[in-house]
């Protein structure tokens, strides 16, 4: 009863809050911090009463500044992966140990989920070899391409090992308002639009690092059946799926990098034309490391997210997500998507067919 009164009080206070116009926020850091804060507050507001009574309207005190800040950042007004992971850290002490800026109730299991995701991104940063590969391709420097691929492979292996640090079972309160049976009509942003919005939530698939590696390695993700349940009867390639659920939720500069990598001449075609066994092996090692990372991600999602649902002790949402156990936090059909990208990644492997 006491918790119920507290939730009612929070909702009342939020509705009565003044509408703040964020025109005094200037640089990217200030805007990103504001977007992060509003994302956590909005998620908490929508799901504070659990799956049976989600808020249908985001009050204008939250909706208006959230919308204005989102427009300036080129991000949607919902908690994204860029918010909850990439922008959600601070140094805890001078030795370089990191901590979160914001977290949800749920103790160490919730905190660990975000921290491990952040450490995986940190491991991906050593994959700067991707840029070395691009530069080496311009001059047809086979040794440079090979060295760059080795660095990317090492980075992918490090990402997988870091991913293994995740041990807690926890269903995060990141359920979106797109393809969500609990919010079939979306969420109305008061003072912003007269029509509700349908937005996907944060998802690890919004990691620009992974998609940069995909673009570098020329890994093309297509729906293996040629059809997508959202568009029955139509052939839909996964690039559209990626854009709708993931690319549109990344910082614009990250999307631009992915597009730049995708637009350059095909690394895979260059390797096929070089007839170099060593270069082919370096490429295949890189693709295999990507397959291993995605296979472990598939295992981890099944074990830590879909398997337990959100029945884990301490989950603050009291059932939010039990109807979404086959979906990701982004609202996608998670297991089908992950299995699909894992299979299409394997298809990028090159079989050596050159004469000795």
* Sign of the Cα pseudo-torsion (292, 125, 238, 228, in order): positive
Decide if 74 contacts 252 (C-beta within 8 A).
Answer: yes
Residue located via tokens 């297509």: 222
Radius of gyration of the chain (CA): 22
Instruction: Please tell me the distance from the alpha carbon of residue 298 to that of residue 128, in angstroms, as a whole number.
Output: 25
Cβ–Cβ under 8 Å, residues 249 and 76: yes
CA angle 228, 233, 235 (to 5 degrees): 55
DSSP strands (E only) in 28-163: 57-58, 90-91, 98-99
Closest CA relative to residue 341, chosen from 287, 300, 304, 266: 287
User: Which position has the token pair 């914001």?
Assistant: 102
Chain position carrying tokens 């337990």: 308
The answer to the question of whether 297 is labelled as a binding residue is yes
**Which string of DSSP letters, residue by residue, matches 123-155?**
HHGGGGHHHHHHHHHHTT-HHHHHHHHHHHHHH
Half-sphere exposure of 259 (CA within 13 A, CB side): 10
DSSP classification of residue 333: B
DSSP 221: -
Task: Copy the structure tokens of residue 22.
Answer: 């964020």
Of the candidates 305, 264, 268, which has an alpha carbon nearest to the alpha carbon of residue 287? 268
Q: How many CB atoms lie within 10 A of CB 283?
A: 27
Task: Confirm if 248 and 76 have CB atoms less than 8 A apart.
Answer: yes
Residue of 45, 23, 18, 44 whose CA lies nearest to 34: 23
- From the annotation, which residues make up the binding site? 297
Residues contributing to the annotated binding site for heme b: 297
């Amino acid at each position: 009863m006491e918790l119920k009164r507290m939730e009612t009080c929070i909702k009342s206070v939020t509705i009565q809050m003044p509408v703040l116009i964020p025109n005094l926020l200037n640089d990217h850091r200030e805007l990103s911090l504001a977007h992060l804060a509003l994302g956590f507050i909005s998620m908490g507001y929508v799901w504070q009463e659990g799956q049976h009574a989600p808020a249908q309207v985001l009050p204008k005190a939250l909706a208006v500044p959230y919308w204005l800040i989102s427009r300036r950042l080129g991000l949607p007004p919902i908690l994204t992966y860029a918010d909850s992971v990439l922008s959600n850290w601070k140094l805890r002490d001078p030795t370089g140990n990191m901590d979160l800026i914001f977290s949800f109730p749920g103790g160490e299991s919730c905190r660990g989920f975000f921290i491990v995701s952040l450490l995986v991104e940190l491991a991906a940063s050593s994959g700067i070899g991707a840029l070395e590969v691009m530069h080496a391709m311009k001059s047809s420097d086979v040794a440079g391409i090979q060295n760059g691929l080795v660095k990317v492979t090492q980075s992918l292996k490090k990402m997988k090992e870091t991913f293994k640090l995740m041990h807690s079972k926890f269903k995060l309160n990141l359920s979106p308002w797109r393809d969500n049976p609990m919010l079939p009509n979306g969420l109305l942003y008061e003072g912003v639009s007269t029509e509700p919005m349908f937005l996907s939530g944060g998802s690890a698939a919004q990691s620009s690092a992974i998609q940069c590696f995909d673009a570098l390695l020329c890994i093309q993700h297509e729906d293996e059946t040629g059809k997508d349940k959202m568009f029955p009867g139509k052939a839909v390639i996964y690039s559209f799926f990626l854009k709708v659920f993931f690319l549109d939720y990344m910082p614009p500069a990250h999307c631009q990098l992915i597009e730049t990598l995708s637009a350059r001449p095909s690394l895979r075609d260059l390797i096929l034309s070089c007839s170099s066994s060593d270069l082919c092996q370096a490429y295949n090692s890189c693709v295999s490391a990507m397959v291993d990372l995605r296979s472990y991600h598939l295992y981890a999602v099944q074990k830590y997210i879909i398997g337990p649902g959100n029945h884990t002790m301490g989950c603050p949402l009291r059932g939010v997500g039990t109807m979404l156990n086959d979906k990701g936090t982004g609202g996608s059909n998670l297991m089908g998507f992950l299995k699909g990208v894992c299979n299409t990644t394997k298809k990028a492997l090159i079989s050596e067919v050159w004469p000795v």
